[in-house]
Structure 1
């Protein structure tokens, strides 16, 4: 018996890296998994591994950036496994450049895959769940988004990626606030793990290499997948609107923007007076975490 027995889960970008790990761990916990990836061969390898281990999974190659095509993921889940309980938005790419060198194409590609990609399948899933709720059928559904430390605190050379991931964090808060009435929770994860995107950077590949001595593999993507499996399970029904950070054996909650007590004059500030007010605010603030790379 696994914590996801009877659950049907879509995982995007599941042909490798974190997505493949999520799919395999979810299946091992009893979920029926739709393995979505534009690379059919990669997705099929993940499905084959799941089936060989006694799990249930099917391949889906829909384009998550295409609103019409992404509906086919939801349709396939319902047609194959008679329902849908969770969407794990994982797919992502990198187009890293310093802001001064970034092109419009660099920006648009990241926004399409990350931000729009998080919208498309989730939108169709929500329509299905809302209809179920309105028909009087019980809904116990999950949206699990993927943000990043880059989106939470910024990252040098990744302004497009950081902006998209910050947008995903804000999207998660809105989804949680709006969709609870239908039995849907929304949470996000900010993972730190060994993936195709991290190992493409030589220094990171070296730092995140799997240990040869059989000790705890700190950067293994499966470390993050345990959190994803729990969030997809019925047991997490009371948790929504949270951003979880997962790295190695550590799970933490990322605290969001908060308003400080502020400085209130009780009247309009004259432009020349603002500097003193800002100085006082800065002296009282709790400093934010530093931008990655600074």
Structure 2
């Protein structure tokens, strides 16, 4: 589906990023494999080349504008053009907010949110120069869609990425660029610290199959996520843009956009007492659950 395409994948040395890079290469694309760790990026390039594909590594941290510009320039210098960019690079600094340092917050936001912005901007600039469209897939997370205990920094960054997706889709539609958020769920080291998933991640790393009940619930391997990514990068998805699409195990999901769930008006405006009087019977029934295990309306 991607024959002749040139695609940049950030954070492609391990886990989901490695699966993405290998999948787009298997589908015919030339790949710029980015990672901050040369010992991770190099073997991915070697795997792709050994399988008959084309790939080159760029070892640099995502976030700075210089890295974003270098990634695009490398794609053009090595393979002649840029067709798509996948912003997968990320780090975790999990702590409850009282224990989260400024550096914990800034490091996660710098890599995930600023890195997505700088890479997307560099790619869009190149797409405009080429004049024939392009694809951006910005990687989100369920943590950006609902509460994720101990991940204030990560949740904020990933929610921002989905918001960025919609705006960039609106800004670039007229030049033939699609922008979508991929919301993956996979049994990788990124979720190994979750007690309920620790054993399952270890089993996957040993090469064991994911149990059917986990696959049915939306949990699988990194390789299970890659087909949706390949589709979004292909010409077949030319009419899909501005969406947040999830995938994991046997399941693909379409996440809803934020929308008004209920509204009220009062002529002349509101007083605090008026809000209190109306809130319970009129608005409270429409409050939304903010976490998977939170009841609707919980405050």
Normalised TM-score (structure 2): 0.90
The answer to whether the 8 Å contact 2:62/2:111 transfers is yes
The answer to whether the 8 Å contact 1:153/1:291 transfers is yes
Would the alpha carbon gap of residues 260 and 212 (structure 1) be closer, same or farther in structure 2, given more than 3 Å must change? closer
The size of the alignment, in residue pairs, is 287
1:180 aligned residue: 173
- Counting only pairs closer than 5 Å after superposition, residues 160-171 of structure 1 correspond to structure 2 as 160-171=153-164
The answer to whether the 8 Å contact 2:41/2:57 transfers is yes
**Structure 1 residue matching 2:39: 3-state secondary structure:** helix
2:6 aligned residue: 8
State the 1:224 CA deviation: 0.5
State the 1:205 CA deviation: 2.4
**Separation in 2 of the partners of 1:171 and 1:127?**
16
2:81 aligned residue: 83
**Separation in 2 of the partners of 1:261 and 1:293?**
20
**Separation in 2 of the partners of 1:212 and 1:27?**
25
Task: Give the unaligned 5+ runs of structure 2.
Answer: none
- Deviating more after overlay: 193-202 vs 118-127: 193-202
Is structure 2 residue 198 aligned with structure 1 residue 205? yes
Would the alpha carbon gap of residues 265 and 184 (structure 1) be closer, same or farther in structure 2, given more than 3 Å must change? same
| Structure with more contact order per residue of length (Cα contacts < 8 Å, sep ≥ 6) | 1
State the 1:200 CA deviation: 4.5
State the 1:93 CA deviation: 0.8
2:107 aligned residue: 109
**Structure 2 residue matching 1:153: 3-state secondary structure:** coil
Task: Give the unaligned 5+ runs of structure 1.
Answer: none
- Deviating more after overlay: 258-267 vs 120-129: 258-267
- Counting only pairs closer than 5 Å after superposition, residues 283-294 of structure 1 correspond to structure 2 as 283-285=284-286, 287-288=288-289, 290-291=291-292
1:38 aligned residue: 36
- Deviating more after overlay: 211-220 vs 242-251: 211-220
- Counting only pairs closer than 5 Å after superposition, residues 209-224 of structure 1 correspond to structure 2 as 209-210=203-204, 212=208, 218-224=219-225
**Separation in 2 of the partners of 1:127 and 1:169?**
20
**Structure 2 residue matching 1:272: 3-state secondary structure:** helix
State the 1:201 CA deviation: 4.6
Q: Deviations over 1:260-293 (max 9, x none)?
A: 3411113211221111222234344163352579
The answer to whether the 8 Å contact 2:262/2:283 transfers is no
The answer to whether the 8 Å contact 2:210/2:220 transfers is no
